[in-house]
Chains A and B, each alone.
Chain A
Amino acid sequence: MIDSRALHNLSIPEAASALRRGETTSAALTQATLDRIKETEPTVQAYATVTADRALAAAERADREIAAGRDRGPMHGIPVAVKDNCYTKGILTEVGSQVLEGFAPDFDSTVVQNLYEAGAVLIGKTRCHEWSCGGSEPPTRSPWDPARFPGGSSIGSGVALAARSIYGAIGTDTGGSVRIPSSLNNLVGMKATYGRVSAYGVLPLAWSLDHVGPMTRTVRGNAQMLGAIAGYDPKDANSARVDAPDYTARIEDGARGARIGIDRDYFLYPGVVDSVRAMTENVIGELAEMGAEIIEVRIPELALTSETLKTIRMVESASYHRHQIREKGHLYSPGTRATLEIGQAVLATDYVAALRARERFRSAMKALFKRENLAALISPTIPVSAPLLDDVWKPRQDMENGETPTDGFVRHVYPANLSGQPAISAPGGFTPEGLPIGYQLMGRPFDEATLYRIAYAYEQAQNWHERQPPNGCDRTGPKQ
């Protein structure tokens, strides 16, 4: 049997193998997770709700099924957490908002239902920014450095994974909210193709941009988790009628022959700090050594992706919230309310202009991928490492144009929300201060498997994912 004190460090594939070899049990994994939550939560505050009793009961059920030979696949018996904007039957779902205080839905979101069917053990709900956008900060703190921004809006999912208080977590991504916390917490985060994972029962931010995705510590674990949650859902009008493959089937095939594009003008613009620039070049160099072909590309249509996405997001968010704000506006924090209300002032014609701009961008991406026969586009996930919490919204001192870290966060991640293409963020290295930084691969629609194959090849060569936060999760906080 594996020492119980080491269980929380296992990745999903390691835990799944240990379960099948009889070296541990789901009950032991679940207890180890609950113990770890007890240890780390006073410092990191990643969870909104922990469902210990339900989890232990589910784990015992999983152990009985596995012992009886009813194996539901790689997520069977694995403790997972979901962002607090996903409906969970009988379990609080408050999305960081006072409006939903005390609300427990009477049905499960499809993503949660799929996790249950895959035999995963739900440990609890992770904190997120208010209504997944937020003008107020949750109390969640980074285990890498509590003075620094741990990402958003899937902040609790990212922090719980980094703190080793969960094996896999669900995030949602309307403008980078799976990939940004993944990059800042040394994780793998997949925003799959639009419609690939059902959004039914997930509180929306902007319907046409919302994606649900897995966050994990390894590429293979991420592929396994996506396999459990992907698939057509008739309850989601935007769900894609495209079969979900086994995302791990060719994961070991390597990066050889993959044509990977890089638009240096856009993705390595002057706002990219030196450590992130060096990391990106290292990843590109490593992939080239593995036999990938690096293709220099130019995509002028990237230029207005931020304005386009923001316009669509503002209007769709305003549409969702306007009646509720009229009745319960006092229950929104002022910043969130302002963010959600402003879209009401946008004219319908401007919204349609943004939709048309999105189609122009998508057409340009489609033409580029086809012309260059690209498997992926590579970039840093975000241009900076984790900023200090106080600096997140302030203009950067090293930039003359008033750009804030938040402006930079969205620059590289918005394009995939806009086009609907899959995009993965994976660990790419560390800054000299020891802060994690990630790289992003954007791929062809419904070809998440290729992104996993490339990212897995890099992960095997580098092992950045094995690095853990420096004493950041115990009761006494980080050592200075």
Chain B
Amino acid sequence: MPNIKQPSDPKAKAVQLARVAELLQLEIDEEDLEALSEQVHLLDALEESELREYVPVLKMDAAWHD
């Protein structure tokens, strides 16, 4: 298993995703992989800086104005 660290830049994220894709035997275009790594990198960075107080919630809130 390759050494997968939490990357902080899209290039490292791309390497990580490419390794996972290889392990799962997924055929992913280089361009798609690049776009995906940029996408998850941005979320990664956001999580690091701004998401501490947010937990995943799936239900809708009917009382926005109460």
What chain B residues lie within 8 Å of A444 (beta carbons)? 64-65
For A341, the chain B residues whose CB sits under 8 A away are: 26-28
Asked, given contacts A304-B46, A357-B51, A370-B65, whether A352 binds B24 with beta carbons under 8 Å apart, the answer is: no
B32: chain A residues at CB < 8 Å are: 338, 342
Q: Does B12 sit within 8 A of A, measured CB to CB?
A: no
Q: Map CB proximity to B onto A328-363 as digits: 1 under 8 Å, 0 otherwise.
A: 000000000010011011110110111111111011
| Residues in chain B near residue A445, CB distance under 8 A | 60-62, 64
Q: What residues of chain B lie closer than 8 Å to A342, measured between beta carbons?
A: 26, 28, 32, 36
Contact B64 A344, beta carbon cutoff 8 Å: no
User: In the bound complex, how far is the Cα of B60 from the Cα of A242, in angstroms?
Assistant: 10
In angstroms, Cα B44 to Cα A80, docked, is 45
Quick check: B39 and A307 within 8 Å, CB to CB?
A: yes
Query: B43 to A308, Cβ gap below 8 A?
Result: yes
Known: A360-B54, A369-B65. A345 touches B60 (CB 8 A): no
B27-65 interface code vs A (CB 8 A; 1 in, 0 out)? 111001100100110111011001100111111111011
In this complex, the member of B24, B44, B59, B61 whose beta carbon has the largest number of chain A beta carbons within 10 angstroms is: B61
Q: Would you list 13 pairs from A and B whose C-beta atoms are within 8 A, ordered by A residue?
A: A194-B60, A311-B39, A314-B36, A338-B29, A344-B20, A345-B24, A350-B44, A357-B51, A362-B57, A370-B64, A370-B65, A420-B60, A446-B60
- B residues with a Cβ closer than 8 A to A are 6, 16-17, 20-21, 24, 26-29, 32-33, 36, 39-40, 42-44, 46-47, 50-51, 54-62, 64-65
**What are the 6 A-B residue pairs with the smallest beta carbon separation, nearest first?**
A355-B56, A353-B47, A359-B54, A356-B51, A350-B40, A356-B54
Other A-B contacts than A345-B26, A353-B40, A360-B54, 14 sampled, CB-CB below 8 A, are A194-B60, A338-B28, A344-B20, A344-B21, A345-B21, A346-B40, A349-B6, A353-B47, A354-B43, A355-B56, A357-B43, A373-B65, A445-B61, A446-B62
